Amino acid sequence: MASTEDRRRTEPQHSPVMLSEVLTWLAPRDGGRYVDATLGLGGHAEAILVASAPGGRLLGIDADAQALALAHDRLAPFGPRVALCEGWHRDIKALTQTAGWRKVDGVLFDLGVSSLQLDAAERGFSFAQDGPLDMRMSLSAEMSAQEIVNEWPEEELSRVIYAYGEERYARRIAGAIVRQRPMHTTSALAEVVRRAVPRGRGPQRIDPATRTFQALRIAVNGELEHLQESLAGAIGLLKPGGRLAVIAFHSLEDRIAKQYLAQEARDCICPPRLPQCVCGHRASVRILTRKPLRPTFEEEERNPRSRSARLRVAERLAACEEARR
């Protein structure tokens, strides 16, 4: 059996994105309760537990059982201060209350795919290494990328690639995929997509298959459909003064977070054409980052995967503030 040291040498290298900024804005404190709703390999969680010592506690949630197992080993030294559960962040409220917590001091979402998933060829998230067309964040999920690629109608495939990948050549790519069916590996799909995308002049900023792979991953895992539900659940869990931090890597994720937080920071969300408010909505949060925070140049150089990260932070209003508004 491999020793702990051997396992650490073979584990994926993980650099939590915008760690300094997350700690600054979440401001973990002794005795606080925090939820890492996208635990991954536990880098952010570990730092939050250190910063909230000796009495701060953390609940880590992740749909990936493999990531949870690795995070469990990493966070084991914190003993009863940390609890982990397998599940989707859209169920954050139910999972947190099942753990016995009614309200918390901070919630973190680090959205998108993890380093563990990207670096494991057998998970099929990346075309950097050949692997099966899987892309499931939870291996217990039924639908994989292979089902979408080989079974979905061309029109629906085109819609997904355009909507989730923001790919201008979505129709050409979908048509090429349908003509080459069946496909079972990431390298086969990537090559079909590359041939379908017209070559530009000069060096390409990203591989032509990148947006299609991104779109399929989002579709497989329902990443956008449930994000607003996740954010609503997190805000409902926050104590007055508690903070929500959201790191997004995709423009669509960031847009959903931006628009939802802006909505929850307003008293009225009625359509502008109505002469008076009939919604009864009251602001529940204060936005602390008017513009998203971005990684420093030094972090981007050290960890290229951080380059597209955007961090937004909001703070739960006190009950008296909500009432006055």
pLDDT tens-digit map of 84-100: 999 999 999 999 999 99
Contact present, 105 and 48 (Cβ < 8 Å): no
Q: Name the segment(s) of the chain with CATH classification 1.10.150.170.
A: 128-221
Distance CA 244, CA 234 (A): 7
How confident is the model over 299-321, as pLDDT tens digits?
A: 999 998 899 999 999 999 986 45
How far separated are the first and last CA of the chain, in Å rounded?
A: 61
CATH assignment of 128-221? 1.10.150.170
Assigned token pair, 9: 């040498």
Residue 309 is inside which H or E element, if any?
none
Q: What is the pLDDT of residue 12?
A: 47
- Is 105 in a helix, a strand, or coil? strand
**DSSP annotation of 80:** G
- One digit per residue, the tens of pLDDT, for the chain of length 325 reads 344 444 444 444 568 999 999 999 999 999 999 999 999 999 999 999 999 999 999 999 999 999 999 999 999 999 999 999 999 999 999 999 999 999 999 999 999 888 788 888 999 999 988 999 999 999 888 899 999 999 999 999 999 999 999 999 999 999 999 999 999 999 999 999 999 999 875 556 789 999 999 999 999 999 998 899 999 999 999 999 999 999 999 999 999 999 999 999 998 888 888 888 888 889 999 999 999 999 999 999 999 889 999 999 999 998 645 555 5
CA angle 55, 48, 226 (to 5 degrees): 115
Q: What is the pLDDT of residue 8?
A: 42
Q: What is the pLDDT of residue 202?
A: 54
For 243-305, give the DSSP string: EEEEEE-SHHHHHHHHHHHHHHT-S--S-TTSSS--S-----EEES-SS-B---HHHHHH-GG
Q: Name the fold adopted by 4-112+224-324.
A: Rossmann fold (3.40.50)
Distances in whole angstroms, Cα of residue 91 to Cα of each of 38, 98, 229: 12, 11, 8
Q: Which residues contact 130 (CB under 8 A, 6 or more apart)?
A: 121, 185, 186, 187
Q: Name the segment(s) of the chain with CATH classification 3.40.50.150.
A: 4-112+224-324
State the CB neighbour count (10 A cutoff) for residue 50.
12
Q: What is the pLDDT of residue 323?
A: 52
Q: What is the pLDDT of residue 41?
A: 94
Q: What is the pLDDT of residue 287?
A: 98
Distance CA 186, CA 193 (A): 11
Q: What is the pLDDT of residue 2?
A: 41
How confident is the model over 125-173, as pLDDT tens digits?
A: 999 889 999 999 998 888 999 999 999 999 999 999 999 999 999 999 9
Distances in whole angstroms, Cα of residue 303 to Cα of each of 38, 154, 204, 214, 252: 19, 37, 20, 19, 22
- Is 154 in a helix, a strand, or coil? helix
